[in-house]
Structure 1
């Protein structure tokens, strides 16, 4: 089996993702309906499932129109978030798994940006859909959780295999990269990546997805446990979560 994954740009800077296998199609997040319906139509696909990562409007607002266009679709979302999500057909939580056309889909709680935010990991496709938790060269703002909670969530994602492709929810990579250089200006891998991101955006190309290996080499939020990063932010003796909190605070003010 070879799952096809299609990146669908939505709204101003959101991404949704179509997963297609064996004649069935799933969508991760529903920022708006029209671009998703167009992508489906171009490929002659129908929509069978929608997997929601968290409750923010820019991840769910397209769902009513998608239900109208594909009335049989099934919607999966987080059990802890169900009270503020659109109607769910399947509620899932941390450690749960379900099947999509022969692929196991594992659910990971990645609370921090919101409480109840989940990610979907498809191991045999080397894919993780992380929305606003781990992002390309960044991570989401900590709106509802705590820095400690977000650090724990990022640590779970960092433990996935390095070849895992990270499908995150927004085109924020250029700004994230420019901030990352303020933390690690001497990181050669980061400098090369930011230059590549600048070139991609100048040409109108996506910078999402990325690999976990890339993120571990260049993303300051994943690198907060490293001694050289702690020294770079003048916190050589800080614990990992405190170092992460300092980096997140700096990014919030960037």
Structure 2
């Protein structure tokens, strides 16, 4: 049985995610922008939290960790290479490290670029990938610490996951990301359709996260920097993939 997923809005535009194994009762949360909404979601379902999984060190992903740990006793899991910037870790993982939730084991991927030491958690049986601020719905994180080449390698790792994988990213930026994507590919029919669905969801107050990887591959310009149509759209038909990605990122930063 796959893990149950609960998406929890936090702060103004962040998300945390609960994953729950119904057979064992084991529950984990990915990222803790604030503790109160997570505690409320746990209480509403009668779940007990056992683990806190962290993608990266930015405050809007970890600032509720100590309160949540104090109230639940959950152990904290994160990247060993980033331990000096994270709350104290009970389990420090390297790339390819394993974390078990109930009967399912997930693995970590180093997806540095937004920050150095950013990781994602992939649970293949449940077709879930928790990507924080690396791959996002219709976008990717700004390059605060890493290079464009580094981020392109990270996004390529995520792009290689099965298309049915749900990308559980950290923010509700999708509508503005979609407007930027359409500035590059205004005639992309899948992008036109998805943009309409996103606008309708936000009008109704519904999250646009998580999203399916197959949809990201069809519409997210940051995953499409290797494609001839995107290279042509940015007048870089003969450029390398990472170079095109860098140009798309520069344009988004100014959009």
TM norm structure 2: 0.98
The structural deviation recorded for 1:98 is 2.7
- Partner SS for 2:223: coil
The equivalent of 1:86 in structure 2 is: 87
1:228 matched to 2:229? yes
Aligned to 2:111: 110
1:152 maps to 153
Contact in 2 for aligned 1:93/1:118 (Cα 8 Å): no
Deviations 1:6-26 (A, max 9, x none): 000000000000001121110
Gaps of 5+ in 2: none
1:126–1:163 contact (8 Å) kept in structure 2: yes
Maintained 8 Å contact 2:82/2:117: yes
2:12 match: 12
Q: Which runs of no fewer than 5 residues in structure 1 stay unpaired? A: none
The question of 1:53 aligning with 2:18 is answered no
User: Offset of 1:67 from its aligned partner?
Assistant: 1.4
After superposition, what is the alpha-carbon deviation per residue over 1:178-210, rounded to whole angstroms, capped at 9, x for unaligned? 000011111010011011100100000000001
Provide the residue aligned with 2:241 in structure 1: 240
Between the aligned partners of 1:115 and 1:48, the Cα distance in structure 2 is 27
Q: CA deviation digits over 1:112-165, x for unaligned, max 9?
A: 000000000000000000010000000000000000000000000000001101
Return the alpha-carbon distance in structure 2 between the equivalents of residues 235 and 218 of structure 1. Answer: 19
How many Å separate the matches in 1 of 2:103 and 2:14? 28
2: CA distance between counterparts of 1:41 and 1:9? 16
Q: Identify the residue that residue 3 of structure 1 maps to in structure 2.
A: 3
1:200-234 superposed Cα distances (whole Å, 9 cap, x missing partner):
00000000001000000000000000011100100
Give 1:95 deviation, angstroms: 1.6
Contact 2:116 2:145 in 1 (8 A): yes
Name the residue aligned to 1:200. 201
Of 19, 35, 59 in structure 1, the residue corresponding to residue 37 of structure 2 is 35
Would the aligned equivalents of 1:133 and 1:140 in 2 still touch at CA under 8 Å? yes
Runs (4 or more) in structure 1 with deviation over 2 Å come to none
Q: How many residue pairs align between the two structures?
A: 253
Aligned partners of 2:111 and 2:120 also within 8 Å: yes
* Alignment RMSD: 0.6
Structure 2 SS opposite 1:124: coil
The answer as to 2:178 corresponding to 1:177 is: yes
Contact 1:77 1:88 (C-alpha < 8 Å) held by counterparts: yes
**For the residues of structure 2 that align with 1:192 and 1:161, how far apart are their CA atoms?**
22
The answer on whether the counterparts of 1:24 and 1:101 sit within 8 Å (CA) in structure 2 is yes
What TM-score comes out, normalization by structure 1 length? 0.99
Q: 1:24 aligns with which of 23, 26, 30?
A: 26
Matches of 1:244 and 1:78, distance apart in 2: 26
